[in-house]
Structure 1
Amino acid sequence: MTTYDYDLFVIGAGSGGVRAARLTALGGKRVAIAEEFRVGGTCVIRGCVPKKFMVMASDFSHQFHTAEGYGWTIDAAFDWPKFLQVKDVEIARLSGIYVANLGKAGVDLVHGRAVLKDAHTVEVTHRDGGESQTITAEKILIATGGRPWMPTDLAGVEHAITSEEAFHLPELPKRILIAGGGYIAVEFAGIFAGLGVETTLIYRGPNILRGFDDDVRAHLAGEIEKRGIKVILGCQHASIEKTATGLVNKLENGMEIETDVVMFATGRVPHVKDLGLETAGVALTDKGAIQVDTLSRTTAENIWAIGDVTDRMNLTPVAIREAVAFHETVYRNNPQHFDYEGVATAVFSQPPVGTVGLSENEARHACPGAVDVYVSRFRPMKYAFTGSDERMLMKLVVDGESQKVVGVHIVGPEAPEMIQLAAIAVKAGLTKAQWDATCAVHPTMAEELVTLKDKQQPGNMSAG
């Protein structure tokens, strides 16, 4: 019988990898985890957590403007270096909690880059420059996440940054151009615009947030322009040229826009480069993600993969649930797989988006019969008082045959908070009648979700 150094070796100490390692170690197994950067992974170190801090910081400018309508006189200034310092202290604290929790669970933490040498062996190059270490394990879990993608063939792209560098800019630029139309692009557009940066967003598609409900896409595009963001659609870079006064963005439509910073938010790709996957018999999909079955097992019998590196549903809570399912399957003889249906998500744009279930278009393809659609656009009470023209969107998509609510889409203040609870109802398969039977909480924005009565007539598609 072969003896290994560990029962489980995890590559990548992000949210998914840490959860799997801790659960397995607490179950009495010998576990080690390797991290080449900082413990906490993309979400904690260079993703959703620091980004949310930036969103909250930038939104104060809008709150100050609204406050003036309520009689407040405010004289405020933003200190970018101070914010970065406080943000970095908090990120370090959170990373430290992850490290401490691994230690309490009995997980050995290896600070270095792990590369597969065969199906049971990894070689770790330590961050401190010490000698590399060879470690064996009965089972290996890969949870290395994703990394930003940039068009390497674009002339001048070396002058651009990604979202990862945006968290550490030495000074706040006066002008920025963000390329991309996904959630990272629109979130950072809101961040920089809110901090007083002249912000331009360009996207090659016909509208932002591809894959979201069309009403959501159109509504948000209009609302972010009200916040001062210049949106250019159906266009992309031809080149970037560095000059004495800035970066000249030459676009394919002939426009030239000079900015101080160019940021690409054009997608993320699985972090699989030089991991030694082929030597261990781990295959990739056509899109470059690690190929796994429904139980997260790779094509190598003793190697599993979870999280963004598998490119299934790239959300932190999903990676954590995949980690739990992995532990239950492999170490508790309780085969489980995560259910990807009815997962709520939020875009922390300004205003934010919350969505769960099917878009209207998806429902018309998925539901066997008719689809009932309920849409409301209104000025939130807070903004109506000040005369602002900002509007909120709420939309319910209902299976006409079963009358189950199969999609909920919200754009406006507190949308992410509302969608979490709406997701419970969608996941439970509640009908429109059950939503209607729920008494409203007044006066709130959320009450609109249980008071929508008028169906949108077929053919009367709502425009953004």
Structure 2
Amino acid sequence: MSTSPDYDYVVLGGGSGGIASARRAAAHGAKVALVEKGALGGTCVNVGCVPKKVMWNAAHISEVLHDMKNFGFTGSAEFDWSFIKKRRDAYVQRLNGIYRRNLDGSGITEVQGLGSLTGNPNEVLVTKPDGSTETLSAKNVLLATGGYPSFPPGDGVAEHAISSDGFFELEELPKKAVVVGAGYIAVELAGVLQALGSDVTLVLRKNIALREFDEIISSTLDSEMQRNGIKILRDTGGVASISAEGGKKTVNLQAGGSVTDVDAVIMATGRKPLTGSLNLEEGGVSLAPSGKIAVDDYSATSSPSVFAVGDVCSNVELTPMAIAAGRRLADRLFNGDADAKVSYDLVPTVVFSHPPIGTIGITEAQAKEKYGEANVKVYRSKFANLWYGVFDMAFEDKPVTAMKLVTAGPNEQVVGVHVIGMGADEMMQGFGVAMKMGATKADFDSCVAIHPTASEELVTMAPWGQGVQESGAKVPPLNGADVVPSKL
């Protein structure tokens, strides 16, 4: 006589994807347990997007204070790192409590410990903090354990550098910091530290940061980081070793040269999926060549009844992506929606660099490769935000906002939108909706612009506005302060 499983759904991992899927399943009437050994909320809440945005906000205020004299304000303000750290950490703890109350309110059983698979696809072994174990049986198991920052090899690297996680443990603002990496985490942390007063050096293994982004993004960010005072070391091959003496560190580079008298070295050189403790081989779960868990379009792994969402399996490592995948999976498993699956196409993305970046779709280079160069038309615009209109400086010395629309086909369907500049983070969501609906350049042109805003540039580009059409006449960019109210 068979016995019923303890649960309909056991979720390993209390991050964004795991909690979202667990709560959606419980809303459909499933009996759910969630296994987590650490703080609820995962990377995003504890050492990722949430505390990072708090620090980005602090950095933005520093920039505003720097600019205030241009608007008639006088005076000065001092920054207290310990104050914002205390406030930030308290906010994260409140979020941890909210997540726990949400689990309780959804009727989900929280199990403290480290979960792993067994030879039975319907079982999970939980190792408790005291070393004891408990076996949970379930109709379905979800792996949502996320990822962790990885360090490159090198003498003294592990001993004398910190990861992006360690950034949030810093008790004071480093006077001199080295950030190693070319991805979004590296440029975000470099920008925050510089804006708050650190002397920052960004170490790149190759030539430029954000190489996978459209060239208008990577090149503009590169020049803006340098304008802000960040030193960029290029084609270094990475870090060879790090030594420390008297509280100061020396970073030695593969290509030669070094950075001395450094207070903090932050490694932002990549992340790996957190799979080591899951006992995947015993559980019959296969890995993709990337080292992540292999899943199909429906989040199913190679083992029956075992699924995966989030950074442990996805190439789109974004919190909203994990949440969407987890919810669609729960809809399919527990609400009879057989076709429920998440779409990984046209996912809007924001990088909280200085200036911020918003992007969706494919790059110009990708579009030309996919559709053929003759079938791609590109629209560009570079200008100074109206914020800088009253600044007593030459136009060429003002911070740049850059935009690009990438279109394909005879109807000029918009296949890429790329923006860098003040407000880029807040304007991208609406354009993401438009692209999901198949918007064309004509649709953008037909929308009356909101003036005066930076986003109006995206709907007033050449031939109607001041932007530059790749195949058309080259119109000089205008100062954003001088843009006329209507160009239609």
Band of TM-score, shorter chain: over 0.9
For residues 209-266 of structure 1, the C-alpha deviation after alignment (integer angstroms, 9 at most, x for no partner) is: 1210011100011011111111112112121111225110111232211211111001
1:367 equivalent to 2:371? Answer: yes
For residues 288-307 of structure 1, the C-alpha deviation after alignment (integer angstroms, 9 at most, x for no partner) is: 10111111110001100001
Q: Distance in 2 between matches of 1:316 and 1:245?
A: 36
> 2:17 touches 2:310 (CA, 8 Å); kept in 1?
yes
- For 2:335, the equivalent position in structure 1 comes to 332
- For 1:432, the equivalent position in structure 2 comes to 441
1:262 equivalent to 2:262? Answer: no
For residues 274-332 of structure 1, the C-alpha deviation after alignment (integer angstroms, 9 at most, x for no partner) is: 21111110111112101111111100011000010003211110101101110122112
Give the share of equivalent positions with the same residue, in percent: 39
TM-score when normalising by structure 1? 0.96
- For 2:349, the equivalent position in structure 1 comes to 345
- For 2:103, the equivalent position in structure 1 comes to 102
Q: Distance in 2 between matches of 1:74 and 1:179?
A: 35
Q: Distance in 2 between matches of 1:210 and 1:331?
A: 41
CA-CA distance at 1:130 after TM superposition: 5.8
1:276 equivalent to 2:284? Answer: no
Q: Give the secondary-structure state (helix, strand or coil) at the position aligned to 1:372.
A: strand
Q: Distance in 1 between matches of 2:13 and 2:293?
A: 14
Q: Distance in 1 between matches of 2:87 and 2:131?
A: 32
Q: Give the secondary-structure state (helix, strand or coil) at the position aligned to 1:426.
A: helix
AA at the equivalent of 1:348: F
5+ residue gaps, structure 1: none
1:275-294 equivalences under 5 Å are: 275-294=278-297
For residues 24-61 of structure 1, the C-alpha deviation after alignment (integer angstroms, 9 at most, x for no partner) is: 11222211001111110111111000000011111222
CA-CA distance at 1:400 after TM superposition: 4.0
Q: Give the secondary-structure state (helix, strand or coil) at the position aligned to 1:220.
A: helix
1:8-407 equivalences under 5 Å are: 8-118=9-119, 119-127=121-129, 129=130, 131-235=132-236, 236-258=238-260, 259-334=262-337, 335-368=339-372, 369-386=374-391, 387=393, 389-407=398-416
CA-CA distance at 1:2 after TM superposition: 3.8
Q: Give the secondary-structure state (helix, strand or coil) at the position aligned to 1:136.
A: strand
For residues 59-84 of structure 1, the C-alpha deviation after alignment (integer angstroms, 9 at most, x for no partner) is: 22210111111111131111111111
CA-CA distance at 1:200 after TM superposition: 0.5
How many residues of Structure 1 are paired with residues of Structure 2 in the alignment?
Answer: 460
Q: Distance in 1 between matches of 2:264 and 2:27?
A: 46
Q: Distance in 2 between matches of 1:153 and 1:198?
A: 24
Q: Distance in 2 between matches of 1:70 and 1:318?
A: 40
Q: Distance in 2 between matches of 1:154 and 1:345?
A: 35
Q: Give the secondary-structure state (helix, strand or coil) at the position aligned to 2:88.
A: helix
> 1:121 touches 1:134 (CA, 8 Å); kept in 2?
yes
CA-CA distance at 1:349 after TM superposition: 0.2
CA-CA distance at 1:370 after TM superposition: 2.0
1:455 equivalent to 2:448? Answer: no
CA-CA distance at 1:271 after TM superposition: 0.5
Q: Distance in 2 between matches of 1:375 and 1:29?
A: 50
> 2:191 touches 2:353 (CA, 8 Å); kept in 1?
yes
Q: Distance in 1 between matches of 2:422 and 2:454?
A: 9
CA-CA distance at 1:155 after TM superposition: 4.3
CA-CA distance at 1:153 after TM superposition: 4.3
Q: Distance in 1 between matches of 2:108 and 2:45?
A: 19
CA-CA distance at 1:448 after TM superposition: 0.8
> 1:157 touches 1:239 (CA, 8 Å); kept in 2?
no
For residues 117-143 of structure 1, the C-alpha deviation after alignment (integer angstroms, 9 at most, x for no partner) is: 23222222223x262222221210000
**Structure 1: which 4+ aligned runs deviate by more than 4 Å?**
none
> 1:64 touches 1:74 (CA, 8 Å); kept in 2?
no
Q: Distance in 1 between matches of 2:155 and 2:64?
A: 39
Q: Give the secondary-structure state (helix, strand or coil) at the position aligned to 1:199.
A: strand
AA at the equivalent of 2:470: Q
Q: Distance in 1 between matches of 2:157 and 2:211?
A: 27
